[in-house]
Structure 1
Amino acid sequence: MTSDMTARMLRLLSLLQTRREWSGTDLADRLEVTVRTVRRDIDRLRGLGYPVDSARGHAGGYRLASGATLPPLLLDDDEAVAVAVALRTAAGGLTGIEETALRALAKLEHVLPRRLRGKVTALQTSVAGIAWEGGGPRADPALLATLAVACRDHEILAFAYTDRTGATTPRRVEPQQLVASGGLWYLLAHDTTRDDWRVFRLDRVTDPVPTGRRVPARELPGDDPAAFVAARLAAAPTRHRALATVHAPADHVRARARHLATRIRPVDGTTCLVDASDDSLTRIAQMLAGLPADYILDADPDVLDHLRATAHRTLRAAP
């Protein structure tokens, strides 16, 4: 009897972790018990330190809330492997969080069953990441966490934002999606003051303050938020202009330079245009270096000067 109750409570805890809110009737149906038994099991979870909130209603409702302390989490096999690999990735990808991610990874690997430890080890030894100087999607982990929670809860957020000209303005937004691209993190949000969708670079966001006001989820612009962000970035003004007419079909270039997918526009069956414009001369050089065919470049003088200087250094270094 005790083992049945323990198994049922573990199953209940697992269900609470998979959905924002459950009705008492739904939980009872899933667990094949009465609603009264569900209430008793919820009380037992609370006694163990799990912050389960109750919602009013005929059948009652429950959700697992955030608490003062972190209780144990239940992960299935696939989730455990995914978390372990994600922690390894975070150890090299987020400024200031590397050591913390490695400590968490060590704890998780210590309790992983042998069958899963082998999976994680295989993934970690078979997959490698390239860390470019000044590149890689890096962001302050505390800011990322604040924005991620606001996106999840549809909570209006206030912050200060500094644009590309250096001007700082207060913003009040409904965060929707975080997107990593080109070594930077971006927030897709609906600006409540301007009544329009905006894309914010996270390294220009300061002093984020959750307002505590939650709103219904908005329908995102387009089917793919990342594609929407990429299109906005491509249309945004940049400091340096660089347009490459590549002597290859757009599909050929896209297949061999996937990171440039949103910057490629077909011209005809044998030629495409790649917009490598950017605020960074170094990033422009990297994008052009990744093109898989010859091209003709139309660019600002400062871009051409930077490319010539880079090419001369390379030639001098070549044996």
Structure 2
Amino acid sequence: MASTSQRALRLLSLLGSGRQWPLHELATALGVSERTVRRDIETLRRLDYPVHTVHGPGGGYRLGTRRTLPPLVFDHDQALAVAVALQTAPSTVLGLGDDAARALVTLEQAAPAALRAAMESVRLTRLHNPWEFMAPPIEPTAVTTVGIAVRRRHVLGIETLRADGSRPGPGEDGFLPARRVEPHHLVVWAGRWYLVAYDLEDEQWRVLRVDRMRPRPTTQCFPPRELPGDDLAHFVMSSHDRGDTPADWPCTGSARLGLPAGPVARWAPGGSVVEYLDADHCRLTLGAWSWAGVAGLLATFDTELTDLHPPELVQACRRLMHRWAALADTGNDPAPPS
């Protein structure tokens, strides 16, 4: 009986994913015969769960929707996933850390004893990692406003902070005049929230920092558009004008690189800033724990470096040059591969 109940619970969690399941896939996922799956489906139906049969070659089973929802149900693996996710959720939204902790306590109290024990067995201690490059926390209302606009395909009015960081004049608050955009994707990358949107003012695609904007919802709908290159990840990572600001490091420097801004933006460390100069050159600003670290990161791009700032970075490059020259003069070259 216990095995049957656990299997039915697992079946319910699979159907609860929202997708349509062919019978053979359910049998494979549960490790039982198709006949057993049919019996378990009838068990769920007797418990008043709306499991619908979809006929035809591409048919199967799916969980229907209704006004009265069944109780919240997790299987063992889902309980562990929720416990880990709530404890490792990045605090990029104001108040989310406390809310996640309270949500975990609420779920543990509502879970059966066995699942509660599984959730309580995972207690994590998060340590600060400087490479996470956490952005300033975002107001929950901004995330909600942008997320709803993306889902409903509603045009957004947005005001963005000045990219140059200049101080606002009298009567100004540092934001540029409002623009109208079509919000298509809400993306989290390198600890930062971005909106991928089509700018209706200048008719081009943009990647915008959500924490550096004030969104204003509208009810104007727009049709879907295809991204340039149809690759969301590549588009976000290779966009050099995302509105990023340098991460807080003990040492921050910059250099002019003999490479286009797109490839540099894609491979630059998180928390760095890429400035477009011309089709073949860009300026990269980044930080590290030492000036030698900044120099080493710049050297990974294997291109000519000019116009380095500040002087401490230039001195670090000279020191590294002397160290590498001394290493080359020792004659201890590595043996050629056999």
TM-score, normalised with respect to structure 1: 0.55
- Contact 2:207/2:241, CA 8 A, preserved across alignment: no
Which has the higher mean CA deviation after the structures are superposed, 199-208 or 33-42?
Answer: 33-42
Match of 2:206 in 1: 198
Q: Which runs of 5 or more structure 1 residues have no equivalent in the other structure?
A: 247-256, 266-271, 277-283, 305-319
**Equivalent of 2:153 in 151, 156, 163:** 156
What is the Cα-based RMSD across aligned positions, in Å?
5.2
Q: CA deviation at 1:54?
A: 5.5
Cα distance in 2 between the residues matched to 1:214 and 1:39: 40
Give the 3-state SS of the residue equivalent to 2:10 in structure 1: helix
Asked if structure 1 preserves the Cα contact closer than 8 Å seen for 2:19 and 2:62, the reply is yes
Query: Which residue identity lines up with residue 237 of structure 2 in the other structure?
Result: A
Are the aligned partners of 2:275 and 2:282 in contact in 1 as well (CA < 8 Å)? yes
2:177 maps to 1:167: yes
Listed as ranges, the matches of 1:93-108 within 5 Å are 93-108=92-107
- Equivalent residue in structure 1 for 2:187, among 166, 178, 186: 178
Distance 1:195 1:73, change over 3 A: farther
- CA drift at 1:161: 1.4
Matches within 5 A, 1:1-319: 6-18=5-17, 20-23=18-21, 25=23, 29=27, 32-33=34-35, 40-41=42-43, 43-44=45-46, 47=48, 58=56, 59=59, 62-63=62-63, 71-77=71-77, 79-90=78-89, 92-108=91-107, 112=115, 114=117, 117-118=120-121, 120-121=122-123, 124-125=124-125, 127-129=126-128, 136=135, 138-144=137-143, 155-163=152-160, 164=162, 166-175=176-185, 177-181=186-190, 184-189=192-197, 197-203=205-211, 204-208=213-217, 221=229, 225=233, 227-232=234-239, 234-235=240-241, 243-244=254-255, 258-259=269-270, 263=274, 275-276=284-285, 292-293=293-294
CA–CA distance in 2 between the matches of 1:70 and 1:297? 64
Distance 2:127 2:11 in 1: 38
- Aligned partners of 2:146 and 2:183 also within 8 Å: no
| Partner Cα separation in structure 2 for residue 66 and residue 97 of structure 1 | 30
Distance between the aligned counterparts of 2:64 and 2:221, measured in 1?
18
Contact 1:173 1:189 in 2 (8 A): yes
CA shift for structure 1 position 230: 3.3
What residue number does 1:249 align with? none
**Contact 1:138–1:185, Cα closer than 8 Å, also in 2:** no
* Letter of the structure 2 residue corresponding to residue 168 of structure 1: A
Q: State TM-score, norm by structure 2.
A: 0.52
| d(CA) in 1 for partners of 2:23, 2:87 | 40
- Matched AA of 2:196: L
Q: Which amino acid aligns with 1:159?
A: L
Going by fraction, where is helix more abundant, 1 or 2? 1
Is 1:55–1:62's contact at 8 Å kept on the other side of the alignment?
yes
Whole-angstrom CA distance in 2 between matches of 1:71 and 1:184: 35
- Relative distance call for 1:194 and 1:14 in structure 2 (3 A) is farther
CA distance in structure 1 between the partners assigned to 2:135 and 2:97 by the alignment: 14
Residue 195 of structure 2 contacts residue 210 of structure 2 at CA under 8 Å; is this kept in 1?
yes
- Contact kept, 8 Å, 2:93 with 2:137, in 1: the verdict is yes
**Counterparts of 2:145 and 2:116, CA distance in 1:** 33
Report how many residues are paired: 257
Letter in 1 for 2:293: P
Name the SS of the counterpart of 1:10 in structure 2: helix
Change (3 A) 1:220 1:83: farther
2:19 aligned partner, one-letter code: E
Query: 1:275 offset after TM fit, Å?
Result: 1.0
Higher gyration radius (CA): 2
Q: Could you give the per-residue CA deviations for residues 137-158 of structure 1, whole angstroms, max 9, x where no partner exists? A: 522335435656777xx65243
Structure 2, unpaired ranges of 5+: 163-174, 247-252, 258-267, 299-305, 311-338
Question: Identity of paired residues, percent?
Answer: 24
One-letter amino acid of the counterpart of residue 185, structure 1: W
Distance in 1, Cα, partners of 2:60 & 2:221 = 24
Write the deviation string for residues 211-248 of structure 1: whole angstroms up to 9, x where unpaired.
Answer: 89996x957846561x532321x2468899x73269xx
- Secondary structure of 1:87's counterpart equals helix
Distance in 2 separating the partners of 1:4 and 1:28:
16
Contact 2:187 2:193 in 1 (8 A): yes
Inter-CA distance 115–146: structure 2 relative to 1 (3 Å threshold): same
